Amino acid sequence: MTKRALITGITGQDGSYLAELLLDKGYEVFGLVRRAATPSTERIEHLLDRLTLLVGEMTDQTSLIDAMETSQADEVFNLAAQSFVGDSWTVPISTGDVDGLGVTRLLEAIRRVKPSARFYQAATSEMFGKVHEVPQSETTPFHPRSPYGVGKVYGYYATVNYRESYGLHASNGILFNHESPRRGLEFVTRKISDHVARIKQGKATELRLGNLDAKRDWGFAGDYVEGMWRMLQQDAADDYVLATGETHTVREFCEIAFSHVGLDWEKYVVVDERFVRPAEVELLLGDPGKAKERLGWQPQVTFAELVEMMVDADMQRVSKAIAFENATS
Ligand code: NAP
Ligand code: G4F
């Protein structure tokens, strides 16, 4: 029997990699997409003829019930979220509605339509926030530092609660930062790789950043979607940290990214208070021991490989755009 999967947030970075993985494994894949004046399907353009897209919203209970009824999904991956921490102070209420209550809405849809479906919740290392221990594992207490982190803690406990209340096969993946050439331009890694490429090719002169001392445990998104899938293949649902077990500063990311194209980062990076957050998560470092032992999961791409992969992809993209500009001017 062909397995059926429903991915919310299929148009995002992780949604696109997960859709590829599930299609390769022979799944029939359904994706929840928001109605928009301009479609946001760029990351899944190459998959569109193999996917079924369903219009829906994490704030609209009816659409989630419909998505479950239409897809009859065996596995549901909830990746939809207002995922940019920086903006969560600007839109704290809708962030809580989508990232927190939205999880309950989807769990309710599953419980009512197909309680045998397995559920993955995209939880996050942002829940650890002002960290109580280093490294952070599945047993580290939460102390979120943003409306985003607060909303995700709600979603985490909603998932645990539906597992304990109704016996749903519902798991949280507590994922540390994972990046790729498909990362949104607002996140620091992609902001850096994009600026490096534009500075190198004469299209920008500086890169304005906030806190250069922030430390993150950065991995490659393609590795992390494999971990999500493995969680739902276990007999019993549970919660798992996915991380590399290494941490690096934003400054180190800049150093490697600029030096990869032969530039000195200190000549171009300008600290700008506008990008400093009201409350910062200073240090994230994950302990992926449980995922390694129980899921056999470990990341394949190193930090330096990740930075270079992102810079190379942006160098190519910017150079194509310049060639197009020249050909059409
Ligand atoms: P992303 O690129 O920002 O993608 C977010 C997705 O959610 C997009 O498809 C977006 O649709 C959709 N979405 C947003 N609001 C929605 C709503 N109200 N209703 C329906 N869909 C909505 O995020 P990502 O990096 O792929 O991350 C995937 C998930 O993992 C998110 O839940 C994020 O919070 C979580 N997470 C990410 C990381 C990381 O480092 N990447 C780490 C831990 C956890 P549009 O295209 O229409 O905007
Ligand atoms: O790239 P960021 O915006 O990612 P952040 O806040 O760590 O959140 C990401 O990872 C989480 C997992 O831990 C996810 F749950 C979440 O959805 C998202 O994917 O910022 C990383 C760090 C921060 O400390 C920030 O203050 O970089 C620092 N930073 C310094 N200058 C900057 C900038 N971040 C951004 N976005 N832009 C800057 O100019």
DSSP 90-142: TSHHHHHIIIIIHHHHHHHHHHHH-TTSEEEEEEEGGGT-S-SSSSB-TTSPP
**What pLDDT, on a 0 to 100 scale, did the predictor assign at position 157?**
99
**What pLDDT, on a 0 to 100 scale, did the predictor assign at position 107?**
99
Q: Could you report the per-residue pLDDT of 29-78, keeping only the tens digit for each?
A: 999 999 999 999 999 999 999 999 999 999 999 999 999 999 999 999 99
Element (H, E) at 154: helix 147-166
> Which atom of ligand 2 sits closest to the CA of residue 152?
15
**Catalytic residue at 328?**
no
Residue pointed to by tokens 């994706």: 31
d(CA 36, CA 9): 14
Contacts of 103 by beta carbon, 8 Å cutoff, 6+ apart: 78, 121, 154, 155, 158, 159
**Catalytic residue at 126?**
yes
Distances (CA, A) of 28 to 50, 188, 232: 8, 34, 16
289 Cα–ligand 1 center, Å = 26
Residue nearest to atom 16 of ligand 2 (CA): 83
**Catalytic residue at 179?**
no
326 Cα–ligand 1 center, Å = 35
The DSSP secondary-structure symbol of 48 reads: G
- Model confidence band, residue 329 (pLDDT cutoffs 50, 70, 90): confident
39 Cα–ligand 2 center, Å = 25
CB-CB contact of 260 with 196 (8 Å):
yes
d(CA 115, CA 120): 13
d(CA 278, CA 290): 33
**What pLDDT, on a 0 to 100 scale, did the predictor assign at position 164?**
98
**What pLDDT, on a 0 to 100 scale, did the predictor assign at position 191?**
99
> Which atom of ligand 2 sits closest to the CA of residue 250?
27
Cα–chain-centroid distance for residue 115? 26
- Model confidence band, residue 247 (pLDDT cutoffs 50, 70, 90): very high
- The residue among 314, 315, 254, 246 whose CA lies nearest residue 285 is 246
Ligand 1 binding pocket (C-beta < 6 A) is: 8-9, 11-15, 32, 34, 36, 40, 57-59, 79-83, 98, 122, 124, 175, 177-178, 184
Q: Retrieve residue 282's tokens.
A: 């200073």
Q: Could you report the per-residue pLDDT of 72-96, keeping only the tens digit for each?
A: 999 999 999 999 999 999 999 999 9
> Which atom of ligand 1 sits closest to the CA of residue 57?
19
Q: Could you report the per-residue pLDDT of 144-166, keeping only the tens digit for each?
A: 999 999 999 999 999 999 999 99
Q: Residue 62, by phi and psi: left (phi above 0), alpha (psi -120 to 50) or beta?
A: alpha
> pTM for this structure?
0.98
